[in-house]
Amino acid sequence: MLGVLALSAPARAQEEEGWRAGPREHAMGPRLMALLENDRVKAALGLTEEQAGRLRQIAVEREKSAVKTRAELAVRRIELRELLRADTPDREAVMKKVQEISDLRGQVMKQHVESILAVKTVLTPEQQQKLRAFRARRGRAGGWRPRSRPSRLGAPPGPPEAPAPPADEPQM
């Protein structure tokens, strides 16, 4: 019994880590969509309708690819767990499955970076700077993540309103 538990521990740890490993990579699409839904953010960044449309397209494509890759990762983790459940696991099969999981996690990172690069081709350097400043201010305030359900305090779901741009930033 202890042997089975010891062999299944790496799969459970990897499964648990996998869900925590890249929340930022998975959240880019929804976060960008939330920003694009906020008229104050769009105005503060000076986004044109064309830019907002292109950014929305990037966010949707990113979100779709993230969902597909997360599903593939979940399946591979289940397969690894089942390989490790055997009394005498096939070392080569286990290591091959670990490599598949590693490759998919690398793919997630590449998708995330590709999305960042795509966003940078849409935004001007000034807009990128404003976005970085906005994100830094939000980070100091504790940050936010879009919520799919109300908080325990009864706040409505979704992102909070964007703060008004500081007086030192030109109004658009």
Q: What is the pLDDT of residues 76-102, one digit of tens each?
A: 999 999 999 999 999 999 999 999 999
pLDDT-based confidence at residue 38 (cuts at 50, 70, 90): confident
Residues near 44 by beta carbon (within 8 Å), at least 6 away in sequence: 130, 134, 162, 164, 165, 169, 172
Where do the domains of the chain lie?
2-133
Q: What is the pLDDT of residues 115-135, one digit of tens each?
A: 999 999 999 999 999 888 877
Indicate whether this model's pTM tops 0.75: no
Q: What is the pLDDT of residues 47-80, one digit of tens each?
A: 999 999 999 999 999 999 999 999 999 999 999 9
